[in-house]
Amino acid sequence: MFQHLEPYAGDPILSLNDAFQKDPRTDKVNLSIGIYFDNEGRIPVLQCVRDAEAQMLAEGGAKPYLPIEGAAAMRRAVQHLLFGAEHAAVKAGRIATLQTVGSSGGLRVGADFIKRWLPGSAMCMSDPSWDNHRAMFEGAGIAVHAYPYYDPATGGVRFDAMREAIAALPARSVVLLHACCHNPTGVDLSREQWQQLVPMLRQRELLPYLDLAYQGYGDGIAEDAYAVRLLADSGLSFFVANSFSKSMSVYGERAGALSVVCSDAAEAELVLGQLKATVRRNYSSPAIHAAGIVSRVLTDPKLRGAWEADVAAMRGRIQTMRRSLHATLSAKKPGRDFGYFLTQRGMFSYTGLSAAQVDRLREQYGVYLIRSGRICVAGLNTGNVERTASAMAAVID
């Protein structure tokens, strides 16, 4: 029955993380997967999350199925977090929000919806982007193209080329954009660049699809929602898939949401209905535990304050590691410009290392990063940054 199957090659990120776990070397360094590790190399369980879980345990509530669209308290809290509680689009009820199985679940539900209701639309994503963006949209039967984005020569954005490519897309094309902390490059659009992009998206009748997986790791929780709010202010219809995996350190809880900003409340009702139909056909309804954590942390003032402080601390530790890596590498390789470690934002940096150099780092030094040269800066700590910088200096000619 199954002998004709092709073997699965594995996912480039998850397989590398698995290989790291199996590596017996004690001084190995994991810069592969986008997970925040603390200075001791552990995945933190935030106190606000523990407290939310303790509340849930004490309440001893039943565990019914959630509605298809997820818990009302979480959906409301997500809208307030992303757009601001007082935003006109929130008040007008013109945003359809579903709790989803991580933001990946949201991305895929949105892609299935687009395939069904905007059948001719192709998706265009940044070059490069998170590998799974292509896989998810192609998996939904949508053609995927790319617009120029990262400039290896400057370590910045090829903004003019990006705009030119986007301006040439047919109307109703989906434009996938990273709202902050671009994965894999760490190179974000500036506020001025977003302001230039939005009128063009509107004029060309394009459909922006924002991925907001790293909220709080760039400049701050509200600051990182800048692009979301700018698009909502502009009156455009658009999608935004957001995740709490990184910001609440709840990876395995699969806590995410999908919001679709529509032109009015009646349209939002229609969109929500069809998104619900898509979910019911896929996984029926999302997870009640994730909803309990997220809604409590976002709405209980004490938990919310603790969470905001935790996110600021995680962001600050990553920035410290960026400075350490930059300083150590600059000292070891004088004359080379490693300034991109300081200007890139969020969990990731694009090192410019070749696949061969990455292989050497892994095989010879036990330092694991993606073969594109992406490092997860959150895998660095005061105990391994020096060793990592030395290994990187050794493979750089």
Give the residues lining the site for ligand LMR (CB under 6 A): 13, 33-34, 130, 132, 183
Nearer to ligand LMR, 272 or 380 (CB): 380
Tell me the sheet residues that pair with 212: 242
Sheet holding 123-127, edge to edge: 95-101, 255-261, 238-243, 207-212, 174-178, 123-127, 144-148
CA distances from residue 187 to 26, 215, 347 in whole angstroms, order as listed:
32, 15, 11
Residue with tokens 């939904």: 140
Q: Is 63 a catalytic residue?
A: no
Tell me the sheet residues that pair with 256: 100, 243
Nearer to ligand LMR, 292 or 346 (CB): 346
Nearer to ligand LMR, 55 or 132 (CB): 132
Nearer to ligand LMR, 33 or 82 (CB): 33
**Rounded to an integer, what distance in angstroms lies between the CA atom of residue 311 and that of residue 44?**
11
**Rounded to an integer, what distance in angstroms lies between the CA atom of residue 149 and that of residue 214?**
19
**Rounded to an integer, what distance in angstroms lies between the CA atom of residue 108 and that of residue 239?**
12
* DSSP symbols for 55-88: HHHHHT---PPPPTT--HHHHHHHHHHHH-TT-H
To ligand LMR, the closest distance from the beta carbon of 291 in angstroms equals 21
Q: Is 130 a catalytic residue?
A: yes
In the complex, which residue's CB is closest to ligand LMR? 34
Q: Is 91 a catalytic residue?
A: no
SS3 state of residue 372: coil
To ligand LMR, the closest distance from the beta carbon of 13 in angstroms equals 4
Catalytic choice (51, 188, 211, 224): 211
CA distances from residue 331 to 7, 338, 386 in whole angstroms, order as listed:
45, 10, 11
To ligand LMR, the closest distance from the beta carbon of 255 in angstroms equals 14
Length of the chain: 397
**Rounded to an integer, what distance in angstroms lies between the CA atom of residue 89 and that of residue 264?**
8
Catalytic choice (224, 246, 276, 307): 246
Tokens of 106: 């949201």
To ligand LMR, the closest distance from the beta carbon of 211 in angstroms equals 10
- Cβ-in-10-Å burial (0-12, 13-18, 19+) of 127 comes to middle
Is the distance from CB of 79 to CB of 295 less than 8 angstroms?
no
To ligand LMR, the closest distance from the beta carbon of 328 in angstroms equals 24
Catalytic choice (51, 130, 276, 310): 130
* DSSP symbols for 255-315: EEEEEEE-SSHHHHHHHHHHHHHHHHHHTSS--HHHHHHHHHHHHSHHHHHHHHHHHHHHH
Nearer to ligand LMR, 15 or 190 (CB): 15
Nearer to ligand LMR, 12 or 156 (CB): 12
To ligand LMR, the closest distance from the beta carbon of 14 in angstroms equals 6
Nearer to ligand LMR, 272 or 376 (CB): 376
To ligand LMR, the closest distance from the beta carbon of 11 in angstroms equals 7
Q: Cis peptide before 286, with omega less than 30 degrees from 0? A: no
Indicate which residues carry an active-site annotation.
130, 211, 246
